[in-house]
Structure formats: structure tokens, C-alpha cells
Structure 1
Amino acid sequence: MIKFENVGLRYGMGPEVLRDVSFHVPKQSFQFLTGPSGAGKTTLLRLLFMSLRPTRGLITVFDKDIATIEVSELPLLRRRIGVVFQDFRLLDHMTIYENVALPLRVRGREEAGYRSDVLELLKWVGLGDRLHALPPVLSGGEKQRVAIARALIDQPEILLADEPTGNVDTPMAKRLLRLFLELNRLGTAVVIATHDLGLMDQVEARRMILSEGQLEIYE
């Protein structure tokens, strides 16, 4: 689904922040991306989401070379990818319910066909009683759970999650991990960037360790 071949990235004239990165994300796979702070995990996720383009090397997403993709093609490709970024990117003027339902509305779905799914997912992430709350009144952990629900609501082909359990307690982290595993069981490829070794130890999954701009993979 995604393939990196000898990818390098630098900002301006600075040193490369990623060097000779090669890996692939197979269909229905589950993998953790880890490494020290500043190693480039978020940058790598942005490349996966096609919000950055590499300085060198080849990245293919759904069999398309992102270096040659037309700008007009990007929105349709990105709709196939669910993303949880650390800054959440919620819309402050919309309720929790509306934020989570937004990907479905963008696709032209009628509310009668998705309302029960949105309600069920919000209950799963512990926000079933906050449907009408606006993001500015939420805690960091609550915002994170809204962002996760929004990324999952349309059952994307790939899920990219940047520290998705970083602002929640241990029981909720375990609950969210079960949600990711269930989504994976239903066919979604999952890439989770995390520092949480305890979280990773709960699942037998491939680990991709990024350090000093280079990637090592442990199956």
C-alpha cells in the first residue's frame, strides 16, 4: 500500500533529517514506529500522508509515485488514510459529534445512515456524554480521543497515528489499542508512532525504530 525506497529528506540547505529510509506497509499490517524524540517520526508520518515530499528517493502510495501526483489527486488519496496528529486539528466551531462525523459528511453520506456509528464510536472512546461539547472546553486527552474517533469513523485503508495514547491514562490507552487492533482485523493497515514501550509490548507487531534519521525494522 505504501513503499519507501532510499528516501531522504532535508529542510532547505540543512542536513538530511531522514536518510536512505526503505520499508513498505503491506495491506492489513500492524506496525509501531518508535525512536527518541527528534528522530523524525512525525516527519515520516507526514511523508506517509503526502503532506511532505521527499528530497530524494521514491515513495509510492496506492501504486502512485507521490513525486508526480497531481495536486488535484491528493484529496481523494488522503481520504483513504485516517490520521491522528499530535496537534489534533479539530474544528473549534463544531461539536464533538460534528467533528467525528465530518469525514462522512464530506463523502456525501446522509446523517441517518451514520449517526448510530458516530454515537457508538464516541461511547467507545469515553465521550458518549460529550456530544455537544466544543473542542475549546475539552482537555488534551479528550481532544485526542475525538481526533482518534474522527480518523477511524470511515474505516480507512491505512491509519497513521502520532502518539495516539500520549495524553490518556493507562486503562484508556489499552482500550484505544483494542480499537486499533479491531480496525486492523477488519482490514486497515495501522502505523502507530509511540514512545510507550508498555503499549508496544502488548502486541506482537513489527517495530520500526528511527534513530538519527535512519530506520531499522524488527519483524
Structure 2
Amino acid sequence: MIRFENVGLRYGMGPEVLRDISFRIEPQSFQFLTGPSGAGKTSLMRLLFMALKPTRGLIKAFGKDTATISQRELPAVRRRIGVVFQDFRLLDHLTTYENVALPLRVLGREEAQYRADVIELLKWVGLGERMHVQPQVLSGGEKQRAAIARALITKPEVLLADEPTGNVDPPLARRLLRLFIELNRLGTSVIIATHDFSLMEQIDARRLVLADGRLTIYE
């Protein structure tokens, strides 16, 4: 689904922050991306989401070279990838329901087409009773689950989650991990960037470990 071959990345004229990165994200796979602060995890996630282009090397997403994807093609390819940001990025003037439905509204869908799906997904992440409130009254864990639901509403083939348990307590972190595991069982490839070793120990999954801009893979 996504393939990196000898990828390097630098910002401006600075040194390379990622060097000779090669790996594949296979269909229905589950992996953690980890490493010390400053190792390049956020940069790698941005390359995966095509928010950046590599300085050198090849990245292919769904058979397309990301360096040559046109601006016209890019939105359609990106829609196949869901992203859960560490800072949630919920819109305060919208309800939970409206935040989750927003990607479908942007695509021009009529509410009658998606309302049942949004409600079902909110119930699945445990927010069925919170769909009509705004983010200001949600707890950190509820905001995280709303962000996950928004990333899933377009039924992506790949889900990228950047420190999804960084602001929640251990019991909620385990609950969120179970959501990701269930999502993976339903067919979505999952990549979780995390510093939380206790979280990674709860599931036998591949680990992509970044250190000094280089990647080591532990199957």
C-alpha cells in the first residue's frame, strides 16, 4: 500500500533528518512507530500523509509516486489515509457529530446519506451520548475518540495516529488501543507513533524504531 525506498529528508539547507529509510506498509498490517524525541517520527508521519515530499528516494502510495502526484490527484489519494493528530484539531463551534461528519460534508455528501453512519461510528467509539455537545465540554479522552471517529468516517485504508494516548490515563489508553486493534481486524492498516512502551507491550506488532534519522524494523 505504501512503500519507502532509500528515502531521505532535509529541511532547507540543513542536515538530513531522515536517512535511507526503506520499509513497506502492507494491507491490514499493524505497526508502532517509536524512537526518542527528535528522531524524526513527526517528519516520517508527514511523509506518509504526503504533507511533505522526500528530498531523495522513492515513496509510493497505492501505486503512485508521491513526488509526481498532481495537486488535482492528491486529495483523492489522501482520502485513503486517515490521520489522528496529537492536538485533536476539533472545531470548537461544531458539535461532536458535526466534527465527525465534516470530512463527508467537505466531499459534498448530503446529510441524509451519512447521518446513520456517523451516529453508528460515534456509538462504536463510546460517544453516542455526547454527539450533540461541543468540544469545550468533552474530556481529553472524549476529544481523542472524536478525533479517531473523524479520521475513520471516510473508511480509510490506512490510519496514522500521532501519539493517540499521550494525553490520557492508562485505562483509557488501553481502551483506545482496543479500538485500533478492532479497526485493524476490520481491514485497515494502522500506524501508531508513540513513546509509550507499556502500550506497545500489549500487542504483538511490528515496531519501526527511529534513531538519529535511521530506521530499524523489529518484526
TM class by smaller structure: over 0.9
Quote the RMSD (CA, aligned, Å): 1.6
Q: What per-residue deviation string (whole Å, max 9, x for no partner) do you get for residues 86-115 of structure 1?
A: 122222221111111122333444434433
Tell me the distance in 1 between the aligned counterparts of 2:23 and 2:169: 32
Tell me the distance in 2 between the aligned counterparts of 1:213 and 1:191: 18
- Moved segments of 4+, more than 6 Å: none
What pairs with 1:1-219 in structure 2 (closer than 5 Å)? 1-219=1-219
* One-letter amino acid matched to 1:111: E
Q: What per-residue deviation string (whole Å, max 9, x for no partner) do you get for residues 14-47 of structure 1?
A: 1111011110100111100000111111110110
Aligned length: 219
Query: TM-score, normalised on structure 2?
Result: 0.93
Tell me the distance in 2 between the aligned counterparts of 1:175 and 1:154: 22
Q: Which runs of 5+ in 2 are unaligned?
A: none
Tell me the distance in 1 between the aligned counterparts of 2:100 and 2:77: 19
* One-letter amino acid matched to 1:68: T
User: What SS class does the counterpart of residue 73 from structure 2 fall into?
Assistant: helix
Compute the displacement of 1:139 (Å).
4.1
Tell me the distance in 1 between the aligned counterparts of 2:142 and 2:13: 39
Query: TM-score, normalised on structure 1?
Result: 0.93
Tell me the distance in 1 between the aligned counterparts of 2:114 and 2:68: 35
Q: Which runs of 5+ in 1 are unaligned?
A: none
Compute the displacement of 1:137 (Å).
4.1
Tell me the distance in 1 between the aligned counterparts of 2:168 and 2:149: 14
Q: % of aligned pairs identical? A: 77
